[in-house]
Amino acid sequence: MTTATRTARHPSTLATLWRSTVGKKAVMAVSGLVMLLYLVAHMLGNLKVFFGPDDINGYAAWLRTLGQPFLGHEWFLWIARAGLLAAVVLHGVAAYQLSRRDLAARPSKYAHQRRRASYATRTMRWGGVILALFIVWHILDLTTLTVNPNAEHGRVYQNIVASFGNWYSCVIYIVAMLAVGLHIRHGFWSAAQTLGANNARRDRALKLTANGLALLLTAGFLSVPVAVMTGVVS
For the stretch 113-126, pLDDT in tens is: 455 555 556 667 78
Query: Please, which pLDDT band fits residue 66 given cuts at 50, 70 and 90?
Result: very high
Dihedral sign (CA 183, 189, 191, 193): negative
The count of other CB atoms within 10 Å of the CB of residue 185 is 23
Task: Check residue 79 and give its pLDDT.
Answer: 96
Mean pLDDT of the chain: 86
Collapsed DSSP state (helix, strand, coil) of residue 233: coil
- Whether residue 3 is predicted with pLDDT greater than 70 in this model: the reply is no
86 alpha carbon, distance to own chain's centre: 12
Radius of gyration of the chain (CA): 21
Is the pLDDT at 23 greater than 80? The verdict is yes
Whole-angstrom CA distances from 91 to 103, 124, 216 are 18, 12, 23
Q: What residues contact 59, with CB distance under 8 A and at least 6 apart?
A: 45, 48, 156
Question: How many Å apart are CA 11 and CA 17, to the nearest integer?
Answer: 10
pLDDT number for residue 105: 72
Is pLDDT of 109 > 60? no
Q: What is the DSSP letter of 108?
A: G
Helices (H), 66-155: 75-105, 115-142
